[in-house]
Amino acid sequence: MALLPPKNRLWWNEPLHRMEIVWITIAFLWGIAMFSTMIWWHIYGEQNLSNESYRILPDVYAERVDVMIDAYQVGEDEFGMPIVRPPVGSDIYLQARLWDWSPILELVEGESYRLHLSSIDWQHGFSLQPTNINLQVHPGYEMVVTLTPNAAGEFGIVCNEYCGIGHHLMTGRINVLDREAALAAGMQLAAGE
Amino acid sequence: MASIAVPGRQVAEERFRTCPDTGLEVHAKAETLIRVNVLTAVVFLAVGGLFGLLIALTRWQAIHLLPAEWFYLLLTAHGAAVLIFWIMFFEVALFYFTSAVVLNSRLATPMIAWVAYVMMLVGALVATVAVLQGNSSVMFTSYPPLQAAPHFYLGLILFAVGMLLTCFIFLGTLVVAKDEGTYEGSIPLATFGGLTGAIIMIFTLASGAIILIPTYLWSLGIISTIDPLTYKLVWWGLGHSSQQVNVTLQVVVWYTIAALVLGARPLSEKVSRTAFLLYILFLQLASAHHLLVEPGLSSAWKIFNTSYAMYLAVLGSMIHGMSVPGAVEAAQRRLGHTKGIFGWLREAPWGNPAFAGMFLSLVLFGFLGGISGVILGTEQINILMHNTLYVPGHFHATVVCGTTLAFMAMTYLLIPIFFQRDLAFPKMAKWQPYVFGAGAAGISLFMMGAGTLGVARRHWDITFTDALISFDYPATAFFMLGLNGLSALVAAAGGVMYVVVVFGSVFAGKRRTAAEAKSNPIAPGAVALRTYGSEGTLKLPGTIVLVSVFFIAFALYYFINWRFLAGIWTMS
Ligand code: HEM
Ligand SMILES: [Cu+2]
Ligand SMILES: [Cu+2]
């Protein structure tokens, strides 16, 4: 029993029972299968993080966000948050700060964008809903990931890393236009139908 | 019952008594330390559990009990009080139990054990006070640049140093026992598990020191910045490895209870011990699976470290997941419960809270905690779940359904053994594992459910009433949080029952006499079984069915989550 010394002092020389061998083999192979699945998904799956990231000073990042906003702003919401419609395929910037996500980005369904994410103060959590994409946002690090929205509509951004007393106020939005609306608005689309 | 002969005992002045229930030689000083550490742990569980209830009632939007500041404050206090203080004080008791008591030895340096206790207690109180003062609502993870008051970090450091001392006392006791020849042959499995826990704990606390000491200096203004990513990498060396200690000691408790109650022996010492070794060997960068959606770390690094460091440790748990129910089935069959595939299970001592708690812990930990943990730790699937309520859902399944329930069950044996009291309110004790287990399973499942719908963890208001840009989570998410609140009430009721039974028994329970140990044994297994060794070959169809069901559930749920992932925006 577990509270007494093993009968066989050389416990590592004991034979294995068949049931044990079978289960250990299954469990081990299952581990290998799960390991391989992650690699397989990197090759064939369509939801992977890039390995692209940079160190960046918060004010340098804030400046890049401003440059993009200046170039492509199309309006603002009722509280003065800029609404930005960057060209399809371009580099787009989202800034996390206590306690908002700026700007509101307008993207087009089926088009790809290089999304840059960083914080200019504390850590925040980028949680895009309802599609359910959750990424960690650090100050001093810029993450780049190529995103392709698969549906039109309004998507909420929630902060899901605790960032102080205003944490639950920290929201943002991404609008995804459907392709007709984008064409009607005179946008150039890259992806073919 | 015959007591074990203790050849060559040299330290004559140490006081020992023979435990009438287990036949173990109990060192008086070790016994006092075990009592004090257990009771301290229970107090922290009571306080922290109350905080947990208040938090859960706040996340139930229809009630939304606490104001925001109090929610974040008590969430920090809850994490620290239960995850760190409750569990670790109890683990100190288990360290002393699996070394001194199980080996019939004296405890090495009881004086230092008291120093360790005082350091841990003062550290825990200082950190708790810091949080309650209001300037340290940084969550127990305290990710910089979020900063707490300096004494918050200082309290944690003090606590950790005390805990480190207890690990060395554990190791010292092994040396003493060997020198004084208090046992023959190799150390018993429970001690082997304790040793595994102590080794991992030392690694854990070293990581903690490496990161918390600079963070403390930073909070004092002596260091100007702490890199947030480096902090997380090292902090999770503490945060995750300590969970591996919890798993290890919880498995020790499973084996111990099965042995004492049923006389169960491991199917094979070799397999069970190798499974413990896997925990030590494959833990190094276990922090990796907390960093799967972080910038600055490559996929290759993430996959490699989650796979070798995690799947091989998972292998260890899957082995215990077979060998513990296997040991129970074998023991039951030997005792004559041989009807059909599951006769042994139906006829198990379900009215004994130690056994019931242990078996519920085993099943809930495996099915809810184990499976969800592996899913969560899959590189790409983590995108769906990182920092959602799925995460607390998962770890309430491991650390509440698993560890806490196991430790509660163990308490029902520690009270008669070390306090020499019968359980007060035996009816209440009998129901306690079921009530607490149901509540804990509920909070785990419903938080996982809400998390699957994307609901953020550590979040005061998911209606976003005061936020400038609003967003609506699906109605089902609110329903899940309501069910979570209800389950929290059930879990809290189970918690109160536990605390009442513990303090009732310790202060007012009937004194347990040697005669009673005979007529009303709490450890019939120990009486039935005084032989060494592993279980021989036995046919165990019940265990085969159990692990097969487990494996199928695991595989199905794994693939379902890949399907979920395939539905989100494409990203590369
Ligand atoms: C009555 C029993 C309990 C209830 C109702 C409960 C409920 C909760 C709830 C609702 C949360 C907050 C989730 C969130 O908003 O992020 C939480 C967090 C947590 N709980 Fe519990 N809990 C209980 C017992 C425990 C126990 C026994 C442990 C540890 C052994 C534990 C460990 C934690 C930890 C570590 C956190 C995370 C804190 C953080 O995010 O910083 N809980 N609990
Ligand atoms: Cu934030
Ligand atoms: Cu936040």
The reported pTM is 0.94
Our answer on whether the CB atom of B462 is closer than 6 Å to any ligand 1 atom is no
Our answer on whether the CB atom of B443 is closer than 6 Å to any ligand 1 atom is yes
Q: What is the pLDDT of residues A38-94, one digit of tens each?
A: 999 999 999 999 889 999 999 999 999 999 999 999 999 988 999 999 999 999 999
Atom of ligand 1 nearest to the CA of B491: 1
Give B536's pLDDT tier (boundaries 50, 70, 90).
Answer: low
Q: What is the pLDDT of residues B355-383, one digit of tens each?
A: 999 999 999 999 999 999 999 989 899 99
Cα→Cα distances B554→B240, B386, B398, B540, B541, Å: 22, 20, 15, 21, 20
Our answer on whether the CB atom of B140 is closer than 6 Å to any ligand 1 atom is yes
Window 64-103 of A: residues touching B by CB (8 A cutoff) are 77, 79, 81, 100
Q: How far is the CA of B561 from the centre of ligand 3 (A)?
A: 26
The pLDDT, as a whole number, for residue B38 is 98
Pocket residue to mutate for ligand 1, from B53, B156, B396, most atoms within 8 A of Cβ: B396
Whole-angstrom distance, CA of residue B323 vs CA of residue B269: 10
Residue B21 near residue B42 (C-beta atoms within 8 A): no
pLDDT higher than threshold 50 for residue B84:
yes
Pocket residue to mutate for ligand 1, from B43, B44, B78, B435, most atoms within 8 A of Cβ: B78
A chain contacts of residue B544, beta-carbon cutoff 8 Å: 19
Our answer on whether the CB atom of B74 is closer than 6 Å to any ligand 1 atom is no
pLDDT higher than threshold 70 for residue B172:
yes
- Per the prediction, chain B carries an average pLDDT of 91
Q: Where are the alpha helices (DSSP H) in B365-452?
A: 371-376, 382-385, 390-396, 405-414, 426-452
The pLDDT, as a whole number, for residue B528 is 44
Q: CB distance A2–B255 less than 8 Å?
A: yes
Residue B19, both tokens: 């435990």
Q: CB distance A6–B534 less than 8 Å?
A: yes
A185 φ, ψ to 5°? -80, 5
Lowest model confidence (mean pLDDT) among B151-155, B313-317, B380-384, B451-455? B313-317
Q: Averaged over B531-550, what is the pLDDT? A: 78
Q: Tell me the DSSP string of chain A.
A: -TTS--SSSSGGGPPPPHHHHHHHHHHHHHHHHHHHHHHHHHHH-SB-----EEE--HHHHHHHHHHHHHHHEEEE-TT--EEE-PPTTSEEEEEEETTEEE-EEEEETT--EEEEEEESSS-EEEEEETTTEEEEE-BTEEEEEEEE--S-EEEEEEE-S--STTGGG-EEEEEEE-HHHHHHTT----S--
Window 153-182 of A: residues touching B by CB (8 A cutoff) are 156-165, 167-173
Helix-helix angle B87-96:B150-179, to 10 degrees? 10
Our answer on whether the CB atom of B526 is closer than 6 Å to any ligand 1 atom is no
Query: CA nearest A2: which of B410, B34, B363?
Result: B410
Give B526's pLDDT tier (boundaries 50, 70, 90).
Answer: low
Q: How wide is the angle at C-alpha A76 spanned by C-alphas A70 and A81, nearest 5°?
A: 85
Our answer on whether the CB atom of B52 is closer than 6 Å to any ligand 1 atom is yes
CA dihedral of residues B439, B440, B444, B447 (deg, nearest 10) = 50
Q: How far is the CA of B138 from the centre of ligand 2 (A)?
A: 13
Q: CB distance B311–A31 less than 8 Å?
A: yes
Q: What is the pLDDT of residues B284-304, one digit of tens each?
A: 666 778 888 888 888 888 887
Identify the residue whose C-alpha is closest to ligand 1 atom 15. B458
Q: Averaged over A7-29, what is the pLDDT? A: 81
Q: Where are the alpha helices (DSSP H) in B220-268?
A: 228-262
Identify the residue whose C-alpha is closest to ligand 1 atom 21. B52
Atom of ligand 1 nearest to the CA of B458: 16
The residue of chain B with its CA nearest to that of A171 is B469
Residue B466 near residue B49 (C-beta atoms within 8 A): no
Q: CB distance B259–A2 less than 8 Å?
A: yes
Q: CB distance A150–B569 less than 8 Å?
A: yes
Q: How far is the CA of A161 from the centre of ligand 2 (A)?
A: 6
Q: What is the pLDDT of residues B466-522, one digit of tens each?
A: 888 988 999 999 999 999 999 999 999 999 999 999 999 999 999 988 888 888 787
Q: Name the minimum distance, in Å, from the CA of A84 to any CA of chain B.
A: 16
Burial B2-38 (b: 16+ CB within 10 A, else e): eebeeeebeeeeeebebbbbbbbbbbebbbbbbbbbb
Q: How far is the CA of B193 from the centre of ligand 1 (A)?
A: 27
Residue B14 touches partner A, C-beta closer than 8 Å: no
Name B466's Cβ contacts closer than 8 Å, sequence gap at least 6. Answer: A168, A169
B chain contacts of residue A12, beta-carbon cutoff 8 Å: 270, 273-274
The pLDDT, as a whole number, for residue B132 is 95
> Which of A30, A147, A172 faces B571 most closely, judged by CB atoms?
A147
Ligand sitting nearest the alpha carbon of A98: 2
The pLDDT, as a whole number, for residue B309 is 62
pLDDT higher than threshold 50 for residue A167:
yes
The rounded percent of chain B whose pLDDT value lies above 70 is 94
Q: Name the minimum distance, in Å, from the CA of B503 to any CA of chain A.
A: 27
> Which of A16, A50, A131 faces B268 most closely, judged by CB atoms?
A16
Q: CB distance A49–B293 less than 8 Å?
A: yes
Our answer on whether the CB atom of B375 is closer than 6 Å to any ligand 1 atom is no
The rounded percent of chain B whose pLDDT value lies above 90 is 71
A chain contacts of residue B471, beta-carbon cutoff 8 Å: 129, 156-158, 171, 173
A chain contacts of residue B565, beta-carbon cutoff 8 Å: 45, 47
The pLDDT, as a whole number, for residue B300 is 82
Window 119-158 of A: residues touching B by CB (8 A cutoff) are 121-123, 125, 127-136, 138-143, 145-150, 156-158
User: Which residues face A175 on adjacent strands?
Assistant: A106, A154
- ipTM surpasses cut 0.90: yes
pLDDT higher than threshold 80 for residue B238:
yes
The rounded percent of chain A whose pLDDT value lies above 90 is 77
**B27 three-state secondary structure:** strand
